Amino acid sequence: MGSFARKEHQFLAELGLAPRNAGSFACGVWGGSGPVVIAEVVEASGREYEEGMRACYDAAKTWMAIPAPKRGEIVRQIGDALRAKLHHLGRLVSLEMGKILPEGIGEVQEIIDMCDYAVGLSRQLNGSIIPSERPNHMMMEVWNPLGVVGVITAFNFPCAVLGWNACIALVCGNCVVWKGAPTTPLITIAMTKIVASVLERNNLPGSIFTAFCGGAEIGQAIALDARIPLVSFTGSTKVGLMVQQQVNARFGKCLLELSGNNAIIVMDDADIQLAVRSVLFAAVGTAGQRCTTCRRLCSFFMKATINYGSELPLAQGINFG
C-alpha cells in the first residue's frame, strides 16, 4: 500500500505494522490464513482459532500459578510499553477509527491508567477469614481465577475497552482472548504486538494474551466456547442479546456494554456558552461514535412552574439522528 510510504504514516512502522499484516496471534506466534481485509490484514481462520484457544487454555494453568503481585508486575510493564508508544497508538486510533487526535491519544491513556489501577489491585486480592460455628475450625475465603476471559470490542473504542477488561483479568490470573472489530484491525495488531513483546521479555507463554482479527464467525466461536467462562462484549444491542443467550445457554457469564444514545436538555437558566461547547463535543467530538453521543437536544425556554396544576414547559427540540 502506497500510503504506508507517506511521511505522515511512517509512524506505523514504529508500531510494527506493514502494508500486509498477519491478523492472528495464537500459540504465541503470528499467522493468518483467512480472508484479506482492509489495510491488508489476513484474518484468522476457524482452524487458527481452535489452535489458539487450545494453547490459551493450557497457558492459563501457568499464568494462574504465578503470584498476583508478580502478575501485576507484568501488567505494569505493559503500561510502560504503552506509554512509550502513546502518541503513535493515538495517531493510529485517529487514523483508523476517525475520531479526533486528542480523543485517540486519550483512549490509549485510559489503558495506561487501567494498568496502573490493576497493579495496585494485584496486592489487594484478599479473601476473608470467617468465624465458624464448629469448635477449633475457621473458614477461609479464597478467590480463584476463572481461566480464560473473552473480550469482543467495537470499532468506536478499538482499544480502551480491551484495557478495561484485560488489565483486571490478567492480574486476577486469567488469560485473555481478544477479538477486535473487523473495521479496526491495525490497532488490534499494534496493541497485541506490544503485549506480546512484554510476555516474551519475561519468558512467559505468548498464549496468555491471544488475539484474532476476524468477523462474526470468530465472535460466535468465543460466545459458544465452553473453555471461556466469561465473555465481555461491547457493541449493538441486537448482537449483544445474541451473545448473552449463547453464553447463558452454556452457563457462562457475560459483561455487556451495549449501544445507546443520550438526550441533552438545556434549561433557560443554563450557561449557554458552556452548554453549546458541551453539546458540540457530545454530538461530534468522537465522530458521533460513543455510547453517550448526543442525538437529541431539547432547549427549554420557559421554566416549569412547580406546583399542583403546573404549566407544561414549552420546548424546542433538535434531533441529530
pLDDT digits (tens, 9 = 90+) for 250-259: 999 999 998 7
Task: Verify that 234 and 292 share a domain, yes or no.
Answer: no
Residue 224 resides in a domain? yes
Residue 180 resides in a domain? yes
Residue 149 resides in a domain? yes
Which grid cell sits at 150?
473473552
Handedness of CA 97, 101, 102, 106 (dihedral sign): positive
Task: Verify that 293 and 158 share a domain, yes or no.
Answer: no
Q: Using 50, 70 and 90 to split pLDDT, how confident is the model at 26?
A: very high
Handedness of CA 22, 24, 25, 28 (dihedral sign): negative
Task: Verify that 83 and 150 share a domain, yes or no.
Answer: yes
Task: Verify that 271 and 252 share a domain, yes or no.
Answer: no
Task: Verify that 226 and 197 share a domain, yes or no.
Answer: yes
Task: Verify that 94 and 237 share a domain, yes or no.
Answer: yes
pLDDT recorded at residue 281: 83
Say if CB 314 and CB 303 are below 8 A apart: no
Task: Verify that 287 and 166 share a domain, yes or no.
Answer: no
Quick: pLDDT tens for 121-163. 999 998 899 999 999 999 999 889 999 999 999 999 999 999 9
Check pLDDT > 50 for residue 314: no
> How many C-beta atoms surround the C-beta of residue 108 within 10 A?
25
Residue 177 resides in a domain? yes
> How many C-beta atoms surround the C-beta of residue 105 within 10 A?
17
Alpha helices (runs of H) in 98-184, residue ranges in sequence order: 101-121, 160-171
CATH number, domain containing residue 39: 3.40.605.10
Return the closest-CA partner of residue 148 out of 232, 228, 246, 244.
Answer: 228
Q: Which of 14, 40, 51, 257 is catalytic?
A: 257
- Rounded-to-integer distance, Cα 289 and Cα 309, Å: 41
Residue 321 resides in a domain? no
Number of residues in the chain? 321
Check pLDDT > 80 for residue 288: no
Say if CB 9 and CB 186 are below 8 A apart: no
Task: Verify that 249 and 209 share a domain, yes or no.
Answer: yes
Say if CB 34 and CB 43 are below 8 A apart: yes
pLDDT recorded at residue 66: 97
pLDDT recorded at residue 299: 61
pLDDT recorded at residue 194: 97
Q: Name 211's bridge partners.
A: 25, 178
Alpha helices (runs of H) in the chain, residue ranges in sequence order: 11-14, 46-64, 68-84, 86-97, 101-121, 160-171, 185-201, 216-224, 237-249, 272-280
Residue 130 resides in a domain? no
Task: Verify that 34 and 89 share a domain, yes or no.
Answer: yes
Average model confidence (pLDDT) across the chain: 89
Q: Using 50, 70 and 90 to split pLDDT, how confident is the model at 264?
A: confident
pTM: 0.86
Task: Verify that 88 and 206 share a domain, yes or no.
Answer: yes
Residue 288 resides in a domain? yes
Sheet holding 36-37, edge to edge: 21-22, 41-42, 36-37
DSSP state of 9: G
Check pLDDT > 90 for residue 217: yes
pLDDT recorded at residue 8: 78
Task: Verify that 193 and 279 share a domain, yes or no.
Answer: no
Select the more confidently predicted residue: 276 or 227.
227
- Rounded-to-integer distance, Cα 102 and Cα 81, Å: 20
Angle between helices 101-121 and 160-171 (to 10 degrees): 10
pLDDT recorded at residue 230: 98
Q: How many domains does the chain have?
A: 2
> How many C-beta atoms surround the C-beta of residue 279 within 10 A?
18
Domain range enclosing 266: 262-299
Residue 170 resides in a domain? yes
Does 8 qualify as catalytic in the annotation? no
pLDDT recorded at residue 259: 79
pLDDT recorded at residue 106: 95
For the residues of 248-264, what is the DSSP string, one character each? HHTT-EEEEEE---EEE
Quick: pLDDT tens for 27-53. 999 999 998 987 789 999 999 999 999
Task: Verify that 112 and 214 share a domain, yes or no.
Answer: yes
* Mean pLDDT value across residues 255-278: 86
Check pLDDT > 70 for residue 80: yes
